[in-house]
Structure 1
Amino acid sequence: MSALSNLPRLVTWLIGLSLWFAGDTLAANPFARATLATKGTIYAGQQVEIDIDVFVPNYFLTPPQFPLFDLQGAVVTMPDDRGLNLNETVDGEAFSGIRKTYVITPQAAGNYALPTIVIPFGYAAVPGQTTQGKVTVPRLKFAVEAVPGSVGGAPGVTAGEITITQTFDRDPAGLHVGDALVRTVTTRAAGLAPMMIPEPSLKAPEGVKIYQHDPVLSEERTPRGEVAAGLRKDTATYVFAEPGTFSLPAITLEWFNPQSGKTETAGADGAQVEVGAAPATEVALAPPAPPPAEEPFDWLWWTAATAAVLAFALLVQIAANLAGRLETWIDAALTRNAQSEETAFRHVLDACRDHDRVRLESALDRWSRKTGNVPLAKWVERFADPQTRTAFAHQRHARYGTLQSQHQRPDFARLRSGLKVARRRWLEDDFSDDDSPPTDELPDLNPVFANASHKPL
């Protein structure tokens, strides 16, 4: 009876322990977050910024892949700006994050919700090992209202501020028949993507031909690299075939300002073009010119010209040969320098300077193999001072030791200075032993035993 009475308490304890383990596991799992960065009332045609954050424990090993999704009734873009790095602590666990901002332009009033967005990535669930993971972005919802005064909820143009400027390549009042006038109209819209800026009306009056060029879309950025406004540049060429006075129409654009809640108008003035008759050209009458007299063939000039050409060709050939030899010599010198012991040791010093343990180990291995100092520990024991030998041992322990030792930071400054001194001692010792016979630490392959007796079989 006592075992049965303690059974509910045991079950409750096991359930609590399972929930505790599950909570601890979930706290260390990657997660995603969606935030509506645009504040206030959102109107049709207005750009809406949504921040998508992806967090992982420890750090990323492969960056998250943010997809460009479709949203019915809206235009979705993602600027090419680099992602923003984030750091956050959740329930005592350190998380690293990356943020990307989507720009959504709803074309009509209504309720919108993000579709299912899955973002894959790789991260260090265990330090030093890549774990593939993915997260699903929460389905963020937002409401869009119609622009006041719009017909049927049409989006129109919604922006922070719009200005229109124009230029002409010449004075419109001083043209003649056959001349062309180039008109350039630049529209600047704050808070609006270039592709969403409407095309201006560049109509030509009757009797005038117009040739419109492809628009040029760009972005205006702040000194910090943030997008300040969208730019659209339209160019049209007017060709006048008849004299007279022509009126180029003005350009107007109505837009809704969500900050003031009012519809405003931006525009550029029209232009009066005065086209005069083409200037008359006088044709002078003159007697026909006599046929040119034939000059005798100049043998001396042609001989000198031929000799000059041959000499120039010879000089070009000599210069080409010299250039080829010089290039070969330079390539050979660069190859020798790249494969030299000094260059290999410089890679060791660079890795110490950059505090890169992996690159340092690889550079030390290449240098020791090139110089024949294998094993390297024996060379360090012989030529390095005690502090350098200690720093070298700590570096090897941090590289190949336990997981706890891998988090220790080697003394790269001590290694860099100590290895330079050890190399100098090794070089001095190597040069001093140039006249001494080489020694071989390995035993002979077929040793001769003095006391062995050889009897014929």
Structure 2
Amino acid sequence: MKPLVSMFIFFACKCYAENLIGARIVCNQSTAWTGQCIPFAIELRAPGNFKGTPVFDLPEVSNTIILPTGSPVLGSENQNGTEVFVQRHSFLLLWQENGSLEIPPIRARFSHQNGYTGPILDTSQETESLSLKIQRPPNSANFDSIITTDSLIIEERWEKPKGPLKSGDILKRIITQRASKMTAMALMPIPLTAPDGIRVYDENPKVEDQFVRGESTAERIDTLTYLIQKSGDYTLPGIEFHWWNPGSLQMESKKLSSISITASAPSSKTLSRPFNHRTWLLFALLLITTTIVFRSQFAKYVHTTLQIIYPIRKRVKRRLIRSCRKNRVDQSLKYWGKFQHLHPDFVPGPRLLHEIKELQRRKYGRNTTTKPWSGTAMAELISISMPSHRSSKFPVALPKLNTQ
């Protein structure tokens, strides 16, 4: 009889402890605007200390971004005289569509103890689903993507050479965007437009999200480089930003003004020839002869120098980002395949993996939408998550000596 009583007490305690374990999703709003970052949290509950880092299986929802924010907050509650430990994890949700949004249950896998001591137990719990009603701001039908924020600060700074401009000079345009209650991934990419005679280059944008006491602040810094290819009068275009202010319920905008420049031709001193035609001909013949005689060493040196200055991994990464920004499905798939071949150990994160699957579906799957593929989010994720490649020294020409 005593073994039966002991077994009954054991199973009763186990069932009671399991009732104290769970995961739930907490969101303080049921409606939002298109392009608005919606904060929500997942609360994990256990009858003892949490151990390790929990893993969340975030669902894949079309045109949706889910980002973890900040650090978890620990607390405890009293449930029928038993102390229950609570771990709260914060997230941001962003959707660029309108209508009813349904986030399926999110599975959380975490470890805990019963009380303050004892063995570590692993568990897997699911939250309930999350339903939201997303409304598109009025007069926004012409915008592919919408930024919804109470505050968007835009600053511009130019870097120009001293003195009058001339062909061959370079101008830099640094544009900074700062927004509250927003993620930097959703801020506007800068268009690369320039008049004929000027070539424009862009660097990878610097993006940063900060989370302080539950409030998020996003910053994006873009640097555009304008190369004046020939002399003349030019007007560098202005850039207009639009965003929806949910506080004033108005579509706000700011335009960075265009600027006019005049570039002259290089001075005659720069164009003067210190050698006559016969000297140039002899120099060319000497260079050709030297190249033919030492062609193998020269080719090896050129190849080595090219790999150090501009390695193939960097070239493939840059072309992949450029193809995504231009929304070119075939080129993006081509360069993604090359990148995988060069990085067999690279594992993309869940958000990047979602964008890659969407790209592959647009190419090989059944197309259920007439809306063209947008690679902006994939380009931003690639520039943030993929490794950079730098070569800091020349390869060693000779093998190491055998010191054994």
Is the aligned partner of 1:268 residue 2:259?
no
Change (3 A) 1:269 1:171: farther
Say whether residues 1:147 and 2:137 are aligned partners.
yes
CA deviation map 1:112-138 (0-9, x unaligned):
222122212222226422222222112
Change (3 A) 1:193 1:167: same
Which whole-Å CA distance do the structure 1 matches of 2:273 and 2:240 have between them? 55
* Structure 1 residues 160 and 168: alpha-carbon distance in aligned structure 2, compared to 1, 3 A threshold: same
Alignment length (residue pairs): 264
Consecutive unaligned residues of structure 1, counting only runs of 5 or more, are 1-17, 287-457
* TM-score, with length taken from structure 2: 0.58
Cα shift readout 1:43-74 (whole Å, capped 9, x = no counterpart)? 11111111000011122234432233322342
Q: 1:78 to 1:86 in 2, by over 3 A?
A: same
Check conservation: 1:146, 1:153, Cα contact below 8 A. no
**1:83, CA displacement in angstroms?**
1.2
Specify the SS of the correspondent of 1:78. Answer: strand
Which sits farther off after the overlay, 140-149 or 150-159? 150-159
Pair member with larger Rg: 1
Task: For 2:172 and 2:100, locate their aligned partners in 1 and report how far apart those are by CA, in whole Å.
Answer: 45
Which contiguous aligned blocks of 4+ residues in structure 1 show a shift greater than 3 angstroms?
Answer: 21-24, 152-155, 224-228, 282-286
CA–CA separation in structure 2 for the residues paired with 1:282 and 1:48: 59
Structure holding more strand per residue? 2
- State the partner residue of 1:86: 75
Structure 1 partner of 2:209: 219
2:92 pairs with one of 99, 103, 111: 103
Deviations 1:78-105 (A, max 9, x none): 23x3211121112222111111112111
- Alpha-carbon contact 1:61-1:123 (below 8 Å) kept: yes
Is the Cα–Cα contact under 8 Å of residues 28 and 93 in structure 1 kept in the other structure? Answer: no
Counting only pairs closer than 5 Å after superposition, residues 49-448 of structure 1 correspond to structure 2 as 49-79=39-69, 81-125=70-114, 127-151=117-141, 155-170=145-160, 174-220=164-210, 224=212, 228-281=216-269
- CA shift, 1:173, in A, is 7.6
What's 1:43 paired with?
A: 33
Summarize deviations over 1:232-278 as a string: whole Å, max 9, x none. Answer: 22222212233222111111111111121110002322212121232
Q: Equivalents in 1 of 2:207, 2:142: separation in Å?
A: 29
Q: Mark the CA change 1:22 to 1:59 in structure 2 (over 3 Å): closer, same or farther.
A: closer
C-alpha distance in 1, partners of 2:162/2:181? 34
Determine helix, strand or coil for the equivalent of 1:168.
Answer: strand
1:172–1:181 Cα contact (<8 Å) kept: no
Greater relative contact order structure (CA < 8 Å, 6+ sep):
2
Indicate whether 1:31 and 2:22 are aligned.
yes
* Greater helix proportion: 1
SS of the counterpart of 1:281?
helix
Q: Deviations over 1:274-302 (max 9, x none)?
A: 2123222189999xxxxxxxxxxxxxxxx
In the aligned structure 2, how far is the partner of 1:285 from the partner of 1:144?
68
Contact 1:163 1:267 in 2 (8 A): no
- Cα distance in 2 for partners of 1:229, 1:147 equals 22
> In 2, Cα distance between the equivalents of 1:284 and 1:252?
44
Uncovered stretches (5+) of structure 2, i.e. residues with no partner: 1-8, 275-404
- What letter matches 1:258 in structure 2? P
Identity of aligned residues (%): 21
TM-score, length-scaled by structure 1:
0.52
CA RMSD of aligned residues (A): 3.2
Partners of 2:149 and 2:181 within 8 A in 1: yes
Residues 33 and 137, structure 1, Cα contact 8 Å, conserved in 2: yes
Query: How far has the Cα of 1:36 moved from its partner?
Result: 0.8
Structure 1 154/43 Cα, relative in aligned 2: closer, same or farther at 3 Å? farther
Secondary structure of 2:185's counterpart equals helix
